[in-house]
Copies of this chain bind each other. A is one copy, B any other.
Amino acid sequence: MQLKMKPISDIELDESMKVKELTTQMLASGGFTAKKLGVACDIVRKMFREKQCTIFLSFPACIISTGTRGVIRKLVEEKLVDVIVTTCGTLDHDLARVWKKYYHGEFLMDDVDLHRRGINRLGNILIPNDSYGIVLEQKMQPILRDIYSEGKKSLSSRQLAYEFGIRLNDKKSILYWAAKNDIPIYVPGITDGAFGSQLWLFKQQHSDFNIDILRDEQELSDIVFTAKKTGAIMIGGGISKHHVIWWNQFRGGMEYAVYLTTAEEWDGSLSGARIREAVSWGKVKEDAQYITVEGDATITLSMLVGSVLGESRPARH
């Protein structure tokens, strides 16, 4: 059988080049990860154009402490995704940044010195205690009391994210836009972070307050079983990524999948597993369109989203 051979093209840059033009050239460049990023843009455009495709977005909390929060928020604000699965820290950072600021730092700062100053380091981001644990306790407990006072004593993670979101008024917030646009946020490890600790704290004085994590599962079940097609943009690994592909296996797998990661395949981790592994499990369809793009999402996701904005998704309902 003859191989179909497509020649590669050299990238031609100019000083006013748009992000979208660059990723288009990357697709033609044949080059390593750049080519894959070009393919990812293509696949996301196809997801967007599908008439009835439920699009999942998963991501870890860390990027919400950075300016990349704006890129995620754009996806939510523009209704370009339908279901979010993330970790507890996303709620922490999104809320903390509604009320306080995070700051520039360096990876190699003196952590003992920072500790003495009451500043937490998250990679090259600096988070004063006052912008995190302290403000979260001050602001969250009244909101939890408010929610509780409405008779809502057993909530799923999706409900909690929504109840907080509708109480915000900040157009930079992911929770705000998710609530406004009715995009559910699922947090399968809801106790693992500051938001979770505030729930535990609240429970100390409200013993009939409970987290109903099985309700989240029921809803995810309903979503995957009613979806005509599904796709996902998965950023990073861990529980968020796994929960998206896990549930999609029950419908026979996703039709589209884009995975942005820095994780190694060779350690056998779920985080490092390339999408093709998910095909063996039926989490991604045998004939799905998918790509794994290696690199830090603070770079690759910005380029991806910057390249697919302007695509309008068909009305879904």
A137 at the interface (CB under 8 A from B): no
A residues 165-222 in Cβ contact with B at 8 Å: 172, 188-193, 196-197, 199-200, 203, 210-214, 216-218, 221
Complex-state Cα separation, A143 to B266, whole angstroms: 35
Whether the Cβ atoms of A115 and B280 lie closer than 8 Å is yes
In the complex, chain B residues whose CB is within 8 Å of the CB of A66: 8, 29-32, 34-35, 268
Whether the Cβ atoms of B87 and A32 lie closer than 8 Å is no
Whether the Cβ atoms of A298 and B263 lie closer than 8 Å is no
A294 at the interface (CB under 8 A from B): yes
A300 at the interface (CB under 8 A from B): yes
In the complex, chain B residues whose CB is within 8 Å of the CB of A276: 108, 111
Complex-state Cα separation, A239 to B19, whole angstroms: 33
A302 at the interface (CB under 8 A from B): yes
Binds B, one of A10-18, A41-49, A145-153, A225-233: A10-18
In the complex, chain B residues whose CB is within 8 Å of the CB of A26: 67, 298-299, 302
Whether the Cβ atoms of B34 and A236 lie closer than 8 Å is no
In the complex, chain B residues whose CB is within 8 Å of the CB of A303: 22, 299, 303
In the complex, chain B residues whose CB is within 8 Å of the CB of A69: 10
- Contact A243-B29, Cβ < 8 Å, known A22-B302, A214-B211, A298-B34: no
Interface size class, chain A: 35 or more
Complex-state Cα separation, A8 to B127, whole angstroms: 11
In the complex, chain B residues whose CB is within 8 Å of the CB of A18: 16-19
A residues 236-266 in Cβ contact with B at 8 Å: 236-239, 242-243, 246, 262-266
Complex-state Cα separation, A119 to B126, whole angstroms: 32
Complex-state Cα separation, A85 to B46, whole angstroms: 40
Complex-state Cα separation, A295 to B218, whole angstroms: 38
- Contact A266-B107, Cβ < 8 Å, known A188-B189, A213-B190, A309-B13: yes
Whether the Cβ atoms of B196 and A29 lie closer than 8 Å is no
Whether the Cβ atoms of A280 and B121 lie closer than 8 Å is yes
A122 at the interface (CB under 8 A from B): yes
- Contact A191-B216, Cβ < 8 Å, known A18-B18, A294-B266: yes
Whether the Cβ atoms of B67 and A25 lie closer than 8 Å is yes
Complex-state Cα separation, A174 to B218, whole angstroms: 30
Whether the Cβ atoms of A213 and B214 lie closer than 8 Å is no
10 contacts between A and B (CB under 8 A): A11-B71, A30-B104, A32-B124, A89-B242, A111-B277, A122-B273, A123-B265, A123-B273, A210-B212, A268-B296
